[in-house]
Amino acid sequence: MNENLFTSFITPTMMGLPVVVLIIMFPSILFPSPSRLINNRLVSLQQWLVQLTSKQMLAIHNHKGQTWALMLMSLILFIGSTNLLGLLPHSFTPTTQLSMNLGMAIPLWAGTVVTGFRHKTKASLAHFLPQGTPIPLIPMLVIIETISLFIQPVALAVRLTANITAGHLLMHLIGGATLALTNINASVALITFIILILLTVLEFAVALIQAYVFTLLVSLYLHDNT
């Protein structure tokens, strides 16, 4: 069991070529654009959820921040659907890869920072030096604030990677324990199986919550810079 513990996190290949690009593009099929005058229930439910989430997330933004609405909604739909598809058996979850999460976090964070320096230059520079700082502490505080600024995208990516990876590993370990206990003690195996079911339900919630948290933090970074 230990040998195959991290097998699900290996990037799948086909004929020696990585197919992660196809896996990343697959969630877009789940959200078709409406082409009828009257939508079916599934499309109507999707549109209602998107409108509800966008209203809640964009309520704090001004006009400049609301121009990011399409980006933020696309981000939460992509991460949420990718996390949910990764819970299927024998599937691959791209959000368990730190490189991919950094590839999402760094451009979005950089976009918010550039927007802040472009439209609110004085306010953005003021974050590096709080008002009333003693003169001897100015160099140290500037260094600390600069480091904290550059840590933001790393924290975004590591948080998403750690939560999704930890959940998958825990499900794998409990599932393996349940299978091993089946021939040893049926009552204990039943208890671990119930725990596995409850953990699976929890992971469905975590998959959606982490998508919301990632997008919400990007939205807050945008709000601070617009």
Structure confidence at residue 1 (pLDDT): 46
* Contact indicator for 96, 164 with CB cutoff of 8 Å: yes
Dihedral of the alpha carbons of 69, 100, 8, 197, in degrees to the nearest 10? -30
Sort 61 into a burial class: Cβ within 10 Å, 0-12 / 13-18 / 19+: middle
Q: Mapping DSSP to helix (H, G, I), strand (E, B) and coil, where does residue 17 land?
A: strand
**How much of the chain exceeds pLDDT 70, in percent?**
87
Structure confidence at residue 16 (pLDDT): 62
H or E element in which residue 108 lies: helix 98-119
Q: Is the pLDDT of residue 114 over 80?
A: yes
Least confident of 70-84, 93-107, 132-146: 132-146
**Cβ-based neighbour number of residue 88 at 10 Å:** 9
Q: Mapping DSSP to helix (H, G, I), strand (E, B) and coil, where does residue 18 land?
A: strand
pLDDT in tens, 173-221: 888 888 888 888 888 888 888 998 999 899 999 999 999 999 989 998 8
**Cβ-based neighbour number of residue 36 at 10 Å:** 7
Position 171, amino acid: M
CA–CA dist 20, 9 (Å, integer): 12
Q: Tell me the backbone φ, ψ of residue 97, rounded to 5 degrees.
A: -95, 120
Can you give the residue ranges of every domain in the chain?
13-31+38-225
* Contact indicator for 221, 109 with CB cutoff of 8 Å: yes
**Overall pTM > 0.75:** yes
Looking at per-residue pLDDT, the higher value among 144 and 27 belongs to 144
